Chain A
Amino acid sequence: MDHKQIEQSDLIDRYLMGQLSVDEQEQFEEHFVDCAVCVDRLTTTKDLIQGLRHVASHQAAEREAYLPAPIPWYSRYRLAPKWWALASGFLLLIALSAAVIMFNRARLSSTQADQARSDSAEWQRRYQQERESAELAGKKHKETEDELGGRLNELRKELDNNRKKAPGELRPGSRGRTITPQANVQIVILNSTRGSDPRSATNNVHLPISPTNFLLLLALEGEAPHLDYHMSLLDDRGEVILQRGGFRPNEKNSLTFLMNSSLFRPGYYSVRVEGVDAGAGRSIIGEYYFHVTKDL
């Protein structure tokens, strides 16, 4: 190894910077360890490199001292004001939408609750009205019954008195009871109906406003004869107003009932006729619906 080769290959610099291969390094060391010139160059270059590194590290430290503080990680993601404004607006929009939806839902719920309360109150009011109506109707019915009962008693007394004063002729089928003949007694002939609704009545009965007796005449229409007949007078709700038994048909196979107009108010009624057999069993013969009207 000679100095020309050393110069051309920059062996001194490369050796100090650790850029030689192992073989190059050993050959060069074997040379310079006994070469004053190379040792001198090596020493000077090594000192220069160390001095340069020292200066460079100081300069780097000084630059670092004057550098602004490192930006914290959370500040690196800092948004520009316009993006903040956009994001804020977007969030505000979402919040407003949510508020509107919630408000609407609350209002709807409130309306539904009010409606439910109103319905409940309405139903309660109707129930109360119905109950009052039922009570009133019951009360009226009771009054009517009492009135009829009283009237019936009066009639019986009147009949008894009449019987005592002037015994009249016995009428066939009256079981020995005497009745005072009355002139211009209204006879109402009822035809049997097949419907079960009193309002389907085709029989219309017009009665005077003052209490008056009238005859209901029911044609049995070829029914098999029964031992006895039972009659029930029912109002339009199917409640029994009057019941009588022991009737028998006349020679024209018709049943006649004497009624008083005071028993009736304008409305729908029906007469149910049942046949009574020997075993005391009853079977419905027919239903006679009629509509009562009265003079005002």
Chain B
Amino acid sequence: MKVVNGNSGAALADLVSRVIAGDSTAEDEIISRYQRGVSIIIDRIVKSQTDSEDVSQQAFKIIIEKLRHGDLRDPVRLSGFVCSVARNAAIDFVRRARNSRSLEEAGEAEHIPDPAPSQLDLLLSEEKASAVRRVIGELKMERDRELLFRYFIAEQDKERICAELKLTSAQFNNVIFRAIARFKELYVRRIGQ
């Protein structure tokens, strides 16, 4: 199955040219189109929901400015360009955070990002945990609970888990699929879309 993102070369070229022309709706369209994906990229590097949002804003600011200036020569490469800017912004944020910690230790820091999770992070974390408990509680087989923990927490190889729990790859995937589906259902129900 070929993934069709609705991003044909002509459509992307049109979108980029509109940004260069100063069309703000085109900028909104870019943001809305890439926002969730960029968040995942940044969040994986920054590891903080609150900081991730800040870095995302910064990344999109850079993306729009570069597009306005016509820095992207091949519009078909827009997704790669967005990913690249998002990664660099996240890496830059982490580097600055490390430097700030060094300055903090040296007593010269002016602004130090708080490494502790925010209230929102804590709240979301609790909600996720609650949903997970529910999912785990609903699992009928101890084997499935063990599979989830060994795969996602202990990060053991899929092949090893299958061999030790005497599962086929399809059975393994089914357990994961059902758990994710049930979790999504419960979690979305709790916090909404």
Binding site for B on A (CB under 8 A): 1-4, 7, 10, 13, 15-19, 26, 29-37, 39, 41-56, 58
Contact = CB atoms under 8 A, between A and B. Distances in A.
A16 B44 contact: yes
Contact of B5 (A34, A50, A58): A34
A272 B179 CA distance: 144
- Chain B: interface size category: 35 or more
A52 B40 contact: no
Interface stretch (B93-101, B108-116, B144-152): B144-152
Given A33-B41, A33-B82, A45 B3 contact: no
Given A36-B36, A54-B126, 8 more contacts: A33-B83, A33-B86, A34-B5, A37-B3, A47-B183, A48-B135, A48-B180, A49-B152
A42 B38 CA distance: 12
28 contacts: A1-B3, A7-B173, A13-B152, A16-B44, A29-B41, A31-B3, A31-B79, A33-B34, A33-B79, A35-B3, A37-B3, A41-B180, A44-B183, A44-B187, A47-B128, A48-B179, A48-B180, A48-B183, A50-B125, A51-B125, A51-B130, A51-B183, A52-B148, A52-B152, A53-B153, A54-B129, A55-B129, A55-B133
Given A10-B158, A17-B155, A52-B149, A34 B1 contact: no
Closest 7 A-B residue pairs measured CB to CB? A51-B132, A33-B37, A51-B128, A54-B129, A44-B184, A29-B83, A34-B5
A42 B40 CA distance: 8
A18 B45 CA distance: 10
**Overall SS of chain B's interface:** helix
B128 A34 contact: no
B131 interface: yes
Contacts of B3: 1-3, 31, 35, 37
B177 to A, nearest CB: 10
